[in-house]
């Protein structure tokens, strides 16, 4: 298996799953000991997402939101998929403000089990659709699932390049017409890939993400760096992506 030409361990996926099995099902566990950045992370995500879709209930003090030219066309029931959802931190604090129903996808069943408690049993029972336990690269959604938005946060580094491209193709099959995929992840400040043997993941440079988006047939609608994260962490970017005819992708590359 390769990540931009570099061979990764044959046990890349097994080791990743093993690492997460030993992590506490808490916000601190999800954020590698950085629970204190959760609220600033969510604030940045809300600001980003609000460009494309309004929250279900507008906050009392309506902040001025700069709308992107591209808006997700929403119907009666809005539905999102949270990929690498863990205990549902992103779903609870972000996605449920914008979507009536959210499905969860994670490789770790005990995180998914904890999600009911973390999100709150009542809300969970009413608003969480399905909780899929699978690695992203083995996820086999049925064709009748359709989402307005697919959110992938801090999980793409657990996939090889080829599997990430396959997964992003799969996501496009389960998106409603003109739905969005959002990837929020670390990237390296250099042009290089960093690998982490501890949790069996890689951190990609920005250029490699752009390359893989093109290979996946995705157009980059907007990208933004997360502000105010502590120094010493990798920079984090949010990428909003939509399906695109191939001729437009060629011009995106040039």
Cβ closer to ligand SAM: 25 or 244? 25
Contact track, ligand SAM, 6-45, x by CB under 6 A: -------x--x---x---------x---------------
Asked if residue 111 binds ligand SAM (CB under 6 A), the reply is yes
Asked if residue 107 binds ligand SAM (CB under 6 A), the reply is yes
In whole angstroms, give the CA distance from residue 116 to residue 38. Answer: 19
Cβ closer to ligand SAM: 178 or 196? 196
By CB under 6 A, which span of 3-11, 58-66, 122-130, 150-158 interacts with ligand SAM? 150-158
**What would the 3-class secondary structure string for the chain be?**
CEECCEECCCCHHHHHHHHHHCCCCCHHHHCCCCHHHHHHHHHHHHHHHCCCCCCCCCCCCCCCCCCCCCCCCCCCCCEEEEECCCCCHHHHHCHHHCCCEEEEEECCHHHHHHHHHHHCHHHHHHHEEEEEECCHHHCCCCCCCCEEEEEEECCHHHCCHHHHHHHHHHHHHCEEEEEEEEEEEECECCCCCEEECCCCEEECEHHHHHHHHHHCCEEEEEEEECCCCCCCCCCEEEEEEEECCHHHHHHHHC
Residue (of 186, 210, 190) closest to 199 by Cα position: 186
Contact track, ligand SAM, 116-135, x by CB under 6 A: -------------------x
Minimum distance of ligand SAM from residue 153's CB (angstroms): 4
Asked if residue 179 binds ligand SAM (CB under 6 A), the reply is no
Asked if residue 226 binds ligand SAM (CB under 6 A), the reply is no
By CB under 6 A, which span of 84-92, 174-182, 208-216, 244-252 interacts with ligand SAM? 84-92
Cβ closer to ligand SAM: 3 or 90? 90
Residue pair 118/146 in contact (Cβ under 8 Å)? The answer is: no
By CB under 6 A, which span of 62-70, 149-157, 175-183, 241-249 interacts with ligand SAM? 149-157
Minimum distance of ligand SAM from residue 158's CB (angstroms): 3
Cβ closer to ligand SAM: 12 or 52? 12
Binding site for ligand SAM (CB under 6 A): 13, 16, 20, 30, 84-86, 89-90, 106-108, 111, 135-136, 153-155, 158
């Amino acid at each position: 298996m390769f990540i931009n030409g570099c061979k990764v361990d044959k046990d890349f996926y097994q080791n990743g799953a093993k690492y997460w099995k030993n992590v506490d099902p808490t916000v601190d566990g999800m954020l590698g000991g950085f629970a204190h950045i959760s609220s600033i992370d969510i604030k940045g995500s809300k600001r980003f997402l609000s460009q494309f879709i309004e929250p279900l209930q507008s906050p009392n003090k309506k902040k001025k939101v700069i709308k992107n030219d591209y808006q997700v066309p929403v119907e009666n029931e809005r539905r999102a998929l949270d990929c690498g959802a863990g205990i549902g931190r992103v779903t609870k604090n972000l996605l449920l403000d914008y979507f009536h129903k959210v499905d969860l996808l994670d490789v770790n069943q005990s995180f998914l089990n904890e999600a009911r408690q973390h999100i709150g049993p009542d809300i969970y029972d009413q608003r969480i659709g399905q909780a899929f336990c699978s690695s992203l690269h083995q996820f086999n959604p049925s064709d009748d699932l359709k989402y307005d938005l697919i959110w992938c946060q801090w999980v793409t580094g657990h996939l090889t390049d080829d599997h990430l491209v396959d997964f992003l193709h799969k996501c496009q099959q389960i998106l409603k017409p003109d739905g969005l995929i959002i990837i929020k992840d670390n990237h390296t400040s250099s042009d290089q890939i960093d690998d982490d043997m501890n949790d069996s993941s890689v951190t990609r440079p920005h250029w490699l993400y752009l390359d893989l988006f093109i290979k996946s047939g995705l157009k980059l609608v907007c990208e933004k760096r997360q502000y105010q994260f502590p120094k010493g962490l990798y920079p984090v970017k949010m990428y909003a992506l939509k399906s695109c005819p191939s001729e437009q992708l060629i011009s995106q590359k040039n």
